[in-house]
Copies of this chain bind each other. A is one copy, B any other.
Amino acid sequence: MVTLKDIADEAGVSIATVSNVINGNLSKVSNDNAKRIRAIIENRHYVPNSSARTLAVKSSHIIAGILMGAQGANMLKDPYCAEFFGELVGAVQDRGYYFMVRYVTSYDEVIKSLRSWNVDGAVFIGTSEVYSRKIQEEIHIPLIFTDSYTTQQNINNVGIDDFKGGVLAAEYFLKMGHRNLSFVGYTYPLMEKSVVPERLGGFLSVFKSHNIEMSDKQFFYVPESAPDDCLNNIASQLMEDNGGITGFFVSADKLAFALIRTLSNNGIKVPQDISVIGFDDLSITSDFMPGLTTIRQNISRKVQIVADLLFRQIEGDNVPPVNTMLDVELIERGSVKFLSKKRKENT
Residues in A lying within 8 Å of B, measured CB to CB: 1, 45, 47-52, 54-55, 60, 62, 72-77, 79, 82-83, 85-87, 89-90, 93, 98-103, 111-113, 115-118, 254, 257-258, 261, 283-284, 287-290
Contacts and interface: CB of A to CB of B under 8 A. Distances in A.
Contact of A99 (B77, B100, B254): B100
Nearest to A72: B90
A20 to B, nearest CB: 19
A57 to B, nearest CB: 10
Tallying the copies of this chain within the complex gives 2
B51 A117 contact: yes
Contacts of A73: 90
Given A51-B118, A89-B103, A117-B51, A79 B290 contact: no
Nearest to A118: B51
Contacts of A62: 100
A284 B283 CA distance: 13
Contact of A77 (B45, B258, B283, B288): B283
A47 B112 contact: yes
Nearest to A284: B79
Given A49-B116, A55-B55, A103-B93, A74 B87 contact: yes
B284 A47 contact: no
Contacts of A287: 254, 257-258
